[in-house]
Amino acid sequence: MSGSDERPSGLPLLRALIRTYAGHEAADWLNEQVQQLGEPPDRTRFRVAFARAGRKLGDRPLADEQAELRSWTMRDLGRAVLLLEALRTSSDDEQVSLVDHVFRTGELGEQQSVVRVLARLPQPERFAPLAAEATRTNAMGVFEALACDNPYPGRHMSDLAFAQMVMKAIFNEIPVTRILGLRQRTTPELVRMAQDYASERRAAGRPVPTDIALIEGWLEQRS
């Protein structure tokens, strides 16, 4: 066993969800794209399908689903299927290269889709640098897709990258209760950063976000 996460991608579940929620036309279109990808997948064909999946599947949220899938939309679902299928026939190196490429050349919606599926990719810990890159974005939709309702950061990001993501969430008034695994990943260093931020706000005569007290409380509970 490598040290990697052995959780299944849930590809059969995702495909079943497509059948349930997407119309026939969209589901058939998706199947066709998967079949035409080639083994290994042709990158241009993949990028076209990935981009087009937005219009074909639409952005209706999967509101009835469980856990993190609740924050996905139909196009995230379609793109997740496309990506997982493409990775199945790619070498390990090609897998990392493709995901990185799709993220870097993605418009905002595509970037959100990549970030949402990260935890389900094979050997997901390999994509920690990409996740760290995603925390640097100024586009809040992409940042929220990583920080909120997403198991990836809690499971696979380093302590430093995770802490920076939490601090950015606090700064942007995104409730930290939406960050999965925050309680488990709270470190003394993160608490120190949050307390320094509180001090900075007080010195500037600005209100201190209440989320900081929450983080302090969790660390106390554990020690």
For another protein, the binding residues (CB under 8 A) are 104-105, 132-133, 135-139, 160-161, 164, 167-168, 171, 192-193, 196-197, 199-200, 203-205
Q: Which is nearer to another protein, 14 or 167 (CB)?
A: 167
CA distances from 55 to 27, 149, 212 (A): 13, 24, 40
Report, in Å, the least distance between residue 14 CB and another protein.
29
Distance of CA 3 to the CA centre of its chain: 21
Q: What's the rounded Cα separation, in Å, for the pair 92 and 180?
A: 28
Report, in Å, the least distance between residue 205 CB and another protein.
7
Report, in Å, the least distance between residue 136 CB and another protein.
6
Residues 40, 2, 83: CA angle, nearest 5 degrees: 30
Q: Which is nearer to another protein, 105 or 177 (CB)?
A: 105
Q: What's the rounded Cα separation, in Å, for the pair 37 and 47?
A: 10
Q: Which is nearer to another protein, 31 or 164 (CB)?
A: 164
Q: What's the rounded Cα separation, in Å, for the pair 151 and 15?
A: 20
Q: Which is nearer to another protein, 17 or 147 (CB)?
A: 147
Report, in Å, the least distance between residue 135 CB and another protein.
8
